Amino acid sequence: MNQKFLIVTLLWIFSSCAADAQLNKKLGGILDQLKSPAGALSDGDIVGGLKEALNIGISNGSAEASKVDGFFKNELIKIAVPPEAQKVATTLRKMGMGAEVDKFTLSLNRAAEDAAKKSKPIFLKAITSMTIPDALTILKGSDDAATQYLKKTTNADLYKTFFPVVDSTLNINKATEYYSELVTVYNKLPLVKKVDPNLKEYATQKTIDGLYVLIAQEEKKIRVDPAARVTDLLKQVFSKAGK
């Protein structure tokens, strides 16, 4: 018989038979301690730990994305010409305008990098609504469960908030101007179907998607690498989760 189970059983018998109320109280306290493993985490600890993990992921992800070439030289998140305009890019390259297409692609990614600098407070505000049931589900979830929760619950609001930021950086980096020039040249060609994809909507969503990718990478580090758990709470939460 398990030794701990035997002790619990004996204490329960003694506490049931004891006439002394004080003894009952004392034995009851011992029972509670034996039934609850030492170091057990509260729901609040779990929520706090997951918020810390997302906080770190957001901070590191936004820092990585916002540096020079953070988007442009990261093939996982590099923003290409909008799908609707791929034919435009291909046709103009054949016409010897490859340099102009490349200039636009670079400016598009520079705009995303600049916008990423302003993403951190937007994301941090979004994690405040995490509930205890959310946290318990995320804790036992996949390596990017917290990021997927963030994406599911915040994408719409982030898009609304982020759109004017991306719009501004597209103009600053001349991506809008370069794009307009490319589309104008293409639409003047004979026998082509005119195109005019919404660059601002595309760039906004792609920028947000890229940030999610980087946040997910940071989350996975915390889950699988004990060295990435830089606070005591993170160590407790993710070690208890068996991650």
Helix (H) or strand (E) holding 101: helix 98-116
> Residue 28 — very low, low, confident or very high, per pLDDT cuts 50/70/90?
very low
- Residue 214 banded pLDDT, cuts 50, 70, 90: very high
Say what the pLDDT of residue 104 is. Answer: 92
CA distance 11 to 130: 40
Domain ranges of the chain: 3-35, 43-240
pLDDT band per the 50, 70, 90 thresholds, residue 233 = confident
Backbone angles phi, psi at 129, to 5 degrees: -90, 5
Residue with more model confidence, 40 or 103: 103
User: The pTM is what?
Assistant: 0.76
Contact yes or no for 116/143 (Cβ under 8 A): no
> Does position 7 have pLDDT exceeding 50, yes or no?
no
pLDDT of residue 133 exceeding 80: yes
- Does residue 139 contact residue 53 with C-beta atoms inside 8 Å? no
Residue with tokens 């597209």: 170
Interatomic CA distance for residues 159 and 202, integer angstroms: 11
Residue 37 pLDDT exceeds 80: no
The owner of tokens 């799908």 is 83
Please report the pLDDT score of residue 14 as a whole number: 43
Average pLDDT, the chain: 82
Q: Mind listing the pLDDT tens digit for each residue in 71-107? A: 999 999 999 998 888 888 898 999 999 999 999 999 9
182, HSE (Cβ side, Cα atoms, 13 Å): 31
- Tens of pLDDT, residues 160-182: 888 999 999 999 999 999 988 89
**Residue given tokens 């990098």 in the structure block:** 113
Res. 240 pLDDT band, cuts 50 70 90: low
The proportion of the chain whose per-residue pLDDT surpasses 90, expressed as a percent, equals: 37
